[in-house]
A = this chain, B = another copy of it.
C-alpha cells in the first residue's frame, strides 16, 4: 500500500507541476534541534510529576536525544541549559555528543533560578547582581566556544509584577548594557538569539515583551544579534506568521522555539493544537525562500529550528518524536504550496483563489512522501512505532525516578 500510495502522490503532485526531487531534498535537509531539558521532568507551578527513566545528567540527556535523531534523522543537535547542564569539562560533553552522532546546539543561559534574581538579573537595581548576571552571559559565550556552538539563546524572565515596582526605562538601558557587553565577547561566527515573551513569570511588565523590543535590541547590537520567536510567547490572537515574515524581510529571524499553545505559554507539543498555524509559518518561510532574492534565501537558511516544550504529562522521548514529526509534516505540506499560483491569484485580486491555493497544500496527506523520504534515508518509516517497538524505553527505566528536572 505504501508504494502505491507514493506512486499516486507522485502522480498527483507532478500533475500540479511540483518538483518532488527538490521537495525531498529540502525535507532531507530539515534540521530540528531538541532541548536537553525536554528529556527531563517539567511541570506547572502546581506540580512537577516525576517519570521513571528520565536522564540523571547531561550525558544521559544526550543519549535520549540520540534516540530521537536515530529514528527521525531530523535532530542532529541538542540545545543545553546552563547551569542545568553544567559539567566540569565541556569538551567531554562535546565528545560524548559526537560519539552519539550529535552536536551541542544552542547554549541557553539561566538567569531566573537563583535567589539573587528575584527582582531581575541584568535589569536588577543592584549593580552587583547585574554584574553576576552579565558574567553568566559571558560564561555561556565561553561554553559555546568549548562546545562548538554557534548560537546563544537568551530568554530573560526579567520584569515586574506591579506598577512602580521597577523603572521600565532604566531597566531597558540596563538590558542593552548587558547585551552589549556580551555581544562584544562573541566570536565572529557566533550569534546571539534574543527571545521575547509577553508575560510569565513577570505579570505586570516583561523587559523584553515583544518582537519589537527584541528586534530593536538586535538592531542596536549588530548583525550577529537576531530575534528568537517562541511560538507561545505572544498575546492572544497574535499573528505569529506575520512576525516571522517581517523578521525574515529585515534579516533578523534567528530561529524558533517551537511549541503549541491554546491559552498562554502552555508549552505543549508543537503542532498539536493548531497545526494550520505551524503550516502557515512554514508557508511564510518558504515564500521568502522561493522569492529568488539572495538576501531572503540567506535569511531563511540561517533560521535555527528548535523545540522548546514542557512535557508535563507525556513520556519524554515519544513526546519529542511526536514534536519533530509534527514539524516535519507541516513543513512537508508547506513545500506543496504552488507559490506562483498564489501570486497570480493575489495579482488578480482573487481572494478565494489565493486562499485556496495555500490551504489546498495543507489538505494533502503527506504520509506517502514522508515514508518515501525516510526509506531513502534508511530510517524507519514510522519512527514512533519504531521507538515503541524498541527496548530503549524499557532499558532506561533503571534510572528510576527523580532525574533531571527544570
Interface residues of A (CB under 8 A from B): 1, 4-5, 8, 11-12, 15, 42-47, 49-50, 112-113, 115, 118-119, 125-126, 157, 161-169, 172-173, 198-201, 203-205, 209-213, 215-216, 219, 234-239, 241-242, 245-246, 248-250, 261-264, 266, 268-269, 272-277, 280, 283-284, 287-288, 291, 310, 312-315, 318-319, 322, 329, 342-343, 345-347, 349, 351-352, 354-359, 362-365, 367, 384
Cβ B264 vs Cβ A199 within 8 A: yes
6 closest Cβ contacts across the A-B interface?
Answer: A212-B212, A164-B358, A203-B266, A235-B235, A236-B236, A44-B201
Picked from B113, B200, B205, B310, the residue with its CB within 8 Å of the CB of A242 is B205
- A237-B263, A272-B162 as given contacts; A119 in contact with B349, CB under 8 Å: yes
Residue pair A238, B235 in contact (C-beta under 8 Å): yes
Q: Which residues of B contact A50 (CB under 8 A)?
A: 115
Residues of B within 8 A of A384 (CB): 356
> Which residues of B are found within 8 Å of A347, using beta-carbon distances?
125
The answer to whether A263 and B115 touch (CB under 8 A), given A45-B43, A246-B168, A359-B164, is no
Complex Cα distance, B209 from A238, in Å, reads 9
* Nearest CB on B from A34, distance (A): 16
**How near does chain B come to A259, taking the closest CB pair, in angstroms?**
11
A169 touches B46 (CB 8 A): no
Interface centre among A49, A50, A284 (most CB of B within 10 A): A49
A5 near B12 with CB under 8 A, answer: yes
Known: A157-B46, A275-B276, A343-B167. A246 touches B203 (CB 8 A): no
Query: In the assembled complex, how far is the CB of residue A373 from the closest CB belonging to chain B, in whole angstroms?
Result: 16
A162-B354 CB under 8 A given contacts A43-B45, A274-B274:
yes
Residues in B whose Cβ lies below 8 Å from that of A172 = 245-246, 249
Instruction: Provide the bound-state CA to CA distance between A367 and B11, in Å.
Output: 15
Tell whether A216 pairs with B213 under 8 Å between CB atoms, given A46-B113, A164-B359: no
Contacting pair B284 A168 (CB below 8 A): yes
The answer to whether residues A163 and B250 also contact, given A216-B215, A242-B209 and a CB cut-off of 8 A, is: no
CA distance A384 to B235 in the complex (A): 35
Please tell me if the beta carbons of A113 and B263 are within 8 angstroms of each other in the complex. Answer: no
Question: Once the chains bind, are B168 and A119 in contact (CB under 8 Å)?
Answer: no
Cβ–Cβ contact A164 & B357, under 8 A: yes
B210 A280 Cβ-Cβ under 8 A: no
Q: Is there an interface contact between A169 and B245, defined as CB atoms closer than 8 Å? A: yes
Q: Could you tell me if A352 and B168 are in contact, using CB atoms closer than 8 angstroms?
A: no
**In whole Å, how far is A364's beta carbon from the nearest beta carbon of chain B?**
6
Which of B44, B236, B263, B359 interacts with A163 by CB under 8 Å? B359
Q: Is the CB of A162 within 8 A of B113?
A: no
Complex-state Cα separation, A213 to B243, whole angstroms: 9
Taking a contact as CB atoms under 8 Å apart, the answer to whether A113 and B364 are in contact is no
- Chain B residues with CB under 8 Å of A164's CB are 283, 342, 345-346, 354-359
| Chain B residues within 8 Å of A205, by CB | 239, 241-242
Q: Is the CB of A201 within 8 A of B312?
A: yes
Given known pairs A245-B169, A355-B272, A363-B329, the reply for A203 and B346 (CB within 8 Å) is no
